[in-house]
Structure 1
């Protein structure tokens, strides 16, 4: 499923892109010299990676989490996975599978002798539990369920156990993403079932509030290459190799080879360059303004800069189109809501943002214009030559659209609506990200040229998520979403009741109801196209369906897409077997990475 990326410009991971931007954060300069010396001393004793993260985790509950990056790609695995270079489906917990001729039935065979990190056996019972009692459980709010819904009725596939190692997955009708969706992580029945079956005083499963960041780490039972050894709030997460992980190399040596990962938590990217150059980080997702300097230092700094092409996700600017109320109070000021829900207003904003200037200045030329919600690596992506509407910088066109929509200018050149209200709104984004803050500053400046005042307010990432996911009382935001090759991975964004349909969010389970929410016809059109796209097996037909969805998206602009940056990561040369790509980043094959002896 598509998730919010708190540092969108550097993507890469397996199916969920959960590790997309873990490389971009920085190691805090506030780390004491003693801390760094301690880590370097231990690094000499055990193979370990020092990486970093911009903001600390909000939860260790995979189903509840909406953020990227997260810990889950380290500690869990699915039945299948994606090759980070090719995007092809490969075996993971399942050693093999058989697909029926109509593609509506898949039988997976698990590897023999699988174990959870606590030593308990991992069997077909865990797979059935994960799907039937977690993902398909309507009492548990999760965006994961959106990408598994099938057809107009939104039914879910059937998952049943055939024996201890075989699981059958069936769909009531053709569902093209069925196999790829089986890369969702499998969770342990023996440690979680009681949390699902036990309810709190409000009748909700205890699981909803379980596995927070204050959880006893022994309760975080996984099947992935690592397990969490320690977590110190606002400082670091330390992962240690899972001794029960199933992978072995061709000589039957256990994988992963790297014994420990230290994931340092900071809230600013300002110190990343200093820490990497001083040897305090093993990997650094490159800010554009770092590239020229670090490129000159590659050889003497004993690192290599990998370039994987355009990032597979999106960066965008979006307005809150929700016209609903909570307890009689509008989520958005009705005056501003009228602006935001005027298509010509959104189109005028798109024409007024100088995205090429953004590429030249903020991204130092290391990017390209972005005009589609579908990743450029996807076979379903279409270009402007294929009919995709684009909004190249044009202030005259912007002003023309505004005037035709009833807006006007006063003597000072300020934009007013038809009733004489000054056009002014607040834009939020995540703080600590220099690139995104620079993008926001330029948008503020660009829109001032058409008479609009933007109040730019970066927020801590978790505060931002609360406002977007729960409060819903924001005006516009600048952020990014993860991407991939399968468009249905974004179903939670485009289904009108989807948990990531943030530009016009429905109330979710456990939230106060929204009165008077209006869903536009074009929203319903896009939703229907995503449903049809998933139902269609013929690849040519699928591409035509998703092409239409992209065209409508660009006509109505629920998201104003900005820049697709190049994926750039500096990796110490002592890290071996790196197979870098935009889809997979530097760590998608973490089990194969090795650290050379000094």
Structure 2
């Protein structure tokens, strides 16, 4: 059986979005390029760590790379919101033998920045480097973490074939993100993870113009394989800014986009000039309440369920995110973006738990957690019921959320308190399991087996040395079997059925309690460029899909 899962629709969708952006833009603005849509310059914060000093290194697999975005390119770009795939250096892919073989068709006509042709051999070379030097195997291609390890990678003509020792479907997302290296350069450097690349030879939209130790200037490549879509003539990467600095630089025009957090961006930035100042916080995953299900009373699923309606999610959003992020679905999926994965019986139901203290009281009573004359509840055996909420000191949003939750629980008679400790102390509690409640993140990526599945799988419970996704320590052999099946299939109907089983676990067992969606942020000016992703046009996940965003940007007033 051959299964193909590439969405070339994404190309057409992107084109229409780009057109819509140009039609809706306003004339004028610094750097406008008339009908050509060209933008003279955009300035973004530096990609590089703030500890590297003036070290010159463009190796995308180095922790100290000056940029990991704009020079070396991936095989494909998957929209982190819609999960549609946009072909990039690869134009197509096919799964074969279930999910034991994967073939990429490599784009022809692409040139490296030194003029040499890019070929399938460069792709095979890069993937095989991960076997020799595990430090660059970011996709886990050569190990059995979430899918079987590869047994071979070969290139023939314009195709690259990967053979796996078993089903490897969950590796896809990370695999297509791997940045491809030129064999004619990197074959002579030894361990590619340690190579200092001072003169990058890449396929990307820019080449290095200058770097003075703090300011990296990138110049548009006229010979880039999709140069007609790149309208930014010069990209400047400079500085790493805290919220206050970023807000000032955005308002003054010294920054054109920022991907960090600015508290209350509406008031701090947008209100200063609503015509050009904007932000888009897309749902990237879910902030969840993680109880330790190995400790009473959280061993009782009825107790976990009863707490859910006691929590005011809108107030959590207001206090933790200034009302920006919406209350999250208990399914563990990002809705409505992932609605196609929902079981039919849930498709038309409200899956965000309603704030209903009366319902919480009713469920607690029914589960045997009775309320005494003092208004405080006890365990079914009559012992005192007291909960401690561990939260990272200094994490202002988490602390604000925890305060709301604890107040809500006390209001329904569940005696609770917040204990703020150093973030590393909370990490230690996750590893040891020595906690009752804490806030956690449930990743909302497109490979559900690696995200929601990992949150529920017993082999993903943290160890004494490593934090793994199943912090709450949930165990169910049937769920483990479902995750294993989901990891092994690329059939959409089977995926939907299996995801439905995981969703049912979330909705009935409450292994974690969904609170609000967690953001992927972009805060930007539209005076020099339009076509940014927005809630109206969510064509890209704003923090990760930056190459895709680049191909949509145009000068204000241009006709595209």
TM band (smaller chain): 0.5 to 0.7
Cα–Cα, structure 1 residues 49 and 270, in superposed 2: closer, same or farther, change >3 Å? closer
Partner of 2:73: 77
- 1:349 matched to 2:307: yes
Which consecutive residues of structure 1, in runs of 5 or more, have no partner in the other structure?
1-44, 197-206, 324-336
Which residue of structure 2 aligns with residue 47 of structure 1?
Answer: 41
1:457 corresponds to 2:416: no
2:278 corresponds to which residue? 305
Number of the residue aligned with 1:556 = 509
Q: For 1:65-144, what aligned pairs fall within 5 Å after superposition?
A: 72-74=68-70, 76-82=72-78, 87-97=83-93, 104-109=101-106, 111=108, 114-115=111-112, 124=120, 127-128=123-124, 130-132=126-128, 134=130, 144=139
Who is 2:549 aligned against? 589
Deviation readout 1:20-76 (Å, 9 max, x if unpaired): xxxxxxxxxxxxxxxxxxxxxxxxx983424489x9799x999999xxxx9744565
Question: CA, structure 1 residues 185+446, in 2 after alignment: closer, same or farther (shift >3 Å)?
Answer: same
CA distance in 2, matches of 1:146, 1:526: 25
Q: Of the candidates 441, 448, 451, which is equivalent to residue 487 of structure 1?
A: 448
**1:456–1:220 CA distance, 2 compared to 1 (3 A):** farther
Partner-residue secondary structure (3-state), 2:155 = strand
Change (3 A) 1:596 1:98: same
Cα-to-partner distance string for 1:510-562 (whole Å, 9 max, x where unaligned)? x699xxx997543x433322332344444333222211211102322232111
Assess if the C-alpha contact under 8 Å between 1:225 and 1:241 holds in 2. Answer: no
Would you say the 8 A contact 1:175–1:535 is kept in 2? Answer: yes
Contact 2:42 2:528 in 1 (8 A): no
Task: Report how far residue 428 of structure 1 moved.
Answer: 2.0
Does the residue aligned with 2:483 lie in a helix, a strand or coil?
helix
Which whole-Å CA distance do the structure 2 matches of 1:141 and 1:347 have between them? 43
Aligned counterparts, 1:318-397, within 5 A:
318-321=290-293, 337-359=295-317, 366-370=324-328, 371-376=330-335, 377-378=337-338, 379-381=340-342, 384=346, 391-397=353-359
What is the deviation of 1:423? 1.6
Give me the TM-score of the superposition, normalised by structure 2.
Answer: 0.67
Kindly report which structure 2 residues correspond to 1:270-309, keeping only aligned pairs within 5 A, or say none. Answer: 273-283=247-257, 289-291=264-266, 296-299=271-274, 303-305=276-278
Gaps spanning 5+ residues in structure 2: where? 1-38, 53-57
Change (3 A) 1:315 1:448: same
Residue 110 (structure 1) shift: 5.1
Q: Distance in 1 between matches of 2:500 and 2:518?
A: 22
Aligned residues: 491
The residue that corresponds to 2:23 in the other structure is: none
Mapped to 1, the partners of 2:199 and 2:360 lie a distance apart of: 55
Can you list the C-alpha shifts for 1:411-454, whole angstroms capped at 9, x where unaligned?
6545555574562324224845x544432331232223233333
Corresponding residue of 1:247: 224
Write out aligned runs for 1:503-518 (5 A).
Answer: 504-506=461-463
Cα separation, 1, equivalents of 2:251 and 2:72: 32
The equivalent of 2:497 in structure 1 is 544
Q: Which has the larger radius of gyration?
A: 2
Query: What RMSD in Å do the two structures reach over aligned CA positions?
Result: 5.3
Q: Match for 2:288 among 295, 306, 316?
A: 316
